[in-house]
Amino acid sequence: MKAKKKGSSFIGRLLLWINIFLCICMLISYLAPVVNPARFWPVAFFGLAYPYLLLGNVIFILYWLIRRRLWVLLSVICIVIGWKTLNRNIGLRFSSSATYLGGSNMLRIMTYNVHNFKRYGSKNDISTKKDILQIIKDEQPDVIGFQEFYTRNKGQYDMLDSIQRILNCNNFYFMSVVSNKDEAIGMALFSKFPIVSRGMIQLASSRASENQCIYADIKKGDKTFRFYSVHLQSIRFDPEDYRYLNNVEPQQGKPEGSAMRLVAKLKNAFVKRSEQVFKIKENAATCPYPYLITGDFNDTPTSFAVNQVAKGLKNAFTEKGSGLGRTYNGSFPNYQIDYIMTSRQFDVTDYHIIEKRLSDHYPVRSDVVLK
């Protein structure tokens, strides 16, 4: 019996120290939204790990409750301290099913990284393209922004023409980053209302990069607003990186080399996104109209980049979202990385992630009222 008690005591102490370690890591993750990765990048990794740290602490809460120990307060207090962070990551409300009524002040906004209208890692296939177009037809957004938009000059992959017909509009802005005489890839936005001006914010060092920002000033009735479509710095994982993450080939190559390569790519992306968001915010600060910033941020709700953009704005997910808010359905990062944010002149009435695995991103839709 004594030996059993000693063993139980050792396991209990070990679990307590693991719990304390998780709490410390979680407290550090709360610094990720305010610590610029360009100055001190390691904190960004704690922010990336937040969902797993949260899960670990919830497990310990259940464990200590079963054991009827006061150590349960460790994780409870730690989670309560980061309540704002929790709300950015998880919508603690039931999913809404508000009906879009339209009207002079109502707008339905969408953002969709369509991955060139194909399934992730696949070649172009007609069925995926048709399914994506069907979503857009069903949702009928007033304004939609696309990242990784692919189009041809003619034929069934003339996506500029297809979306104009589906939305019954001829107001669009397409900025190609890679093109030839027959086809192009870039960023696009479409509007059911007149576009009175448009522009581009060069985020990457090269205009040929897909990581850029475009915007359009749109007039609805007597009101004008600006719509930004953003594609922040990608991590640029290679197939080899995904194989390492999925442990498909654990025996091949040097695992420490693979891990360091992943860390280097993540660090580089954290730093570049932290620089890019300031360019967007600088432009938005001079905007004379109410505005929305939407798109693929390639970063999580606990990141510096996302929280810098969100300063002074309403995050549609935080306002009306529910559940985990996951918008990326690829291998990694399997998080919420697509966002719709509005200036204070808008009220968010609805938020919805359309969970259909077509592109490697889910489309995100929000209904807003321009006050």
Is residue 58 domain-shared with residue 7, that is, in the same domain?
A: yes
Number of domains in the chain: 2
- Average pLDDT, whole number, for the chain? 89
Average pLDDT over residues 34-57: 96
Q: How confident is the model at residue 243 (pLDDT cuts 50, 70, 90)?
A: low
Rounded distance between C-alpha atoms, residue 279 and residue 283, angstroms? 6
User: What is the reported pTM?
Assistant: 0.90
Is residue 121 domain-shared with residue 192, that is, in the same domain?
A: yes
**Is residue 101 domain-resident?**
no
Q: How confident is the model at residue 91 (pLDDT cuts 50, 70, 90)?
A: confident
Span 63-82, pLDDT tens digits: 999 999 999 999 999 999 99
Domain boundary among 39, 55, 89: 89
Quote the domain boundaries for residue 24: 2-89
Who wins on pLDDT, 1 or 332? 332
Residue 325: left if φ>0, alpha if ψ -120 to 50, beta else—which one? left
Domain boundary among 54, 89, 124: 89
**Is residue 99 domain-resident?**
no
Is residue 68 domain-shared with residue 170, that is, in the same domain?
A: no
The letter for the amino acid at 232 is L
**Is residue 100 domain-resident?**
no
Q: How confident is the model at residue 5 (pLDDT cuts 50, 70, 90)?
A: low
Average pLDDT over residues 328-347: 88
Is residue 23 domain-shared with residue 123, that is, in the same domain?
A: no
Q: How confident is the model at residue 46 (pLDDT cuts 50, 70, 90)?
A: very high
Would you say residue 124 has pLDDT above 90?
no
**Is residue 254 domain-resident?**
yes
Among 22-31, 42-51, 231-240, the range scoring the smallest mean pLDDT is 231-240
Is residue 331 domain-shared with residue 192, that is, in the same domain?
A: yes
Q: How confident is the model at residue 118 (pLDDT cuts 50, 70, 90)?
A: confident
**Is residue 96 domain-resident?**
no
Classified as helix, coil or strand, 140 is coil
Phi, psi of 148 (to 5 degrees): 55, 55
Span 163-173, pLDDT tens digits: 999 999 999 99
The letter for the amino acid at 345 is Q
Rounded distance between C-alpha atoms, residue 281 and residue 237, angstroms? 27
Is residue 60 domain-shared with residue 129, that is, in the same domain?
A: no
pLDDT at res. 251: 47
Would you say residue 247 has pLDDT above 50?
yes
Is residue 85 domain-shared with residue 233, that is, in the same domain?
A: no
Among 17-26, 86-95, 146-155, 156-165, the range scoring the smallest mean pLDDT is 86-95
Domain boundary among 56, 89, 122: 89
Span 129-153, pLDDT tens digits: 999 999 999 999 999 999 999 999 9
Span 345-360, pLDDT tens digits: 999 999 999 999 899 8
Would you say residue 3 has pLDDT above 50?
no
**Is residue 94 domain-resident?**
no
Is residue 85 domain-shared with residue 116, that is, in the same domain?
A: no
Span 155-208, pLDDT tens digits: 889 999 999 999 999 999 999 998 888 899 999 999 999 999 999 999 988 877
Who wins on pLDDT, 252 or 49? 49
**Is residue 97 domain-resident?**
no
Give the domain CATH number at 129: 3.60.10.10
HEC readout, 207-263: CCCCCCEEEEEEEECCEEEEEEEEECCCCCCCHHHHHHHCCCCCCCCCHHHHHHHHH
Is residue 130 domain-shared with residue 29, that is, in the same domain?
A: no
Edge-to-edge strand ranges of the sheet holding 223-231: 195-201, 213-220, 223-231, 291-296, 338-342, 314-315
| Percent of the chain's residues with pLDDT above 90 | 71
Is residue 115 domain-shared with residue 241, that is, in the same domain?
A: yes
Is residue 330 domain-shared with residue 237, that is, in the same domain?
A: yes
pLDDT at res. 127: 87
Q: How confident is the model at residue 1 (pLDDT cuts 50, 70, 90)?
A: very low
Q: How confident is the model at residue 102 (pLDDT cuts 50, 70, 90)?
A: low
**Is residue 26 domain-resident?**
yes
Is residue 62 domain-shared with residue 114, that is, in the same domain?
A: no
> How many CA atoms, within 13 angstroms, populate the side-chain half-sphere of residue 298?
25
